[in-house]
Amino acid sequence: MDVPGDAPARWDRDTALTVLYTAHHRSLVRIAGLLLRDVDAAEDVVQDAFVGLYRRWYRLRDPDKAAAYLRQATVNGARSALRRRGTARRALPRLLPTATDPDVAAQVTARHTVTDALARLPERQREVLVLRYYADLSEAQIADTLGISRGAVKTHASRGLAALRPSLELVR
């Protein structure tokens, strides 16, 4: 089997999807998880993105852009899941694990503080920040994924960071 850096255009559909799944599944689930705050729903969204790509593989104009398609399908799927849910605040219950190590408890608390702060942001700001700082996408990639201009990406990132700053001062 070819490695993820090879051109998917020459692969058959099954090989291409296997390589894409191996290379991108985990990060897509994390992106969806950060947007949805629900690991099970994130898995479902990513699974649906891969199924959709599998069904449409032969209609894909540029198979080399399959990873970008999966990213966009994941973000769109997360949006749909949030709409169906009605609100992101009914997501994953807040159950802190029992930890005897204070460092572990502090890390879990800090993670909840960050995800709670992200959940309070407007949807577009949250999407931009997750794609920028978790997925490490460039402004151009974020703009393509969300269907907005690079200037809008900069604006949403700036406003989102400004809104997060007061909440996250406590995490330091």
Does domain 97-172 bear CATH number 3.30.460.10?
Answer: no
Q: Which two tokens stand for residue 122?
A: 């407007």
Residuewise pLDDT in 10s, the chain (172 residues): 344 444 555 678 889 899 999 999 999 999 999 998 889 999 999 999 999 999 988 888 888 889 999 999 999 999 998 887 764 343 344 444 445 556 666 777 777 788 888 888 998 999 999 899 888 899 999 999 999 999 999 999 999 999 988 877 755 5
Q: What is the pLDDT of residue 94?
A: 44
Q: What is the pTM of this model?
A: 0.60
Between CA 10 and CA 86 the distance in angstroms is 42
Between CA 19 and CA 30 the distance in angstroms is 18
Helix ranges (H only) for 65-122 are 66-85, 102-119
If you write DSSP's letter for every residue of 5-39 in order, what string do you get?
TS-GGGS-HHHHHHHHHHHHHHHHHHHHHHHHS-H
Half-sphere exposure of 14 (CA within 13 A, CB side): 1
CB 60 within 8 A of CB 66: yes
Half-sphere exposure of 47 (CA within 13 A, CB side): 6
CB 53 within 8 A of CB 106: no
Between CA 37 and CA 60 the distance in angstroms is 30
Residue boundaries of the structural domains of the chain: 1-88, 97-172
Q: What is the pLDDT of residue 92?
A: 41
User: Which residues make Cβ contacts (< 8 Å) with residue 126, sequence separation at least 6?
Assistant: 35, 118, 119, 160
Closest CA to 63 of 8, 108, 25: 8
CATH assignment of 1-88? 1.10.1740
CA 148 centroid distance within chain: 17
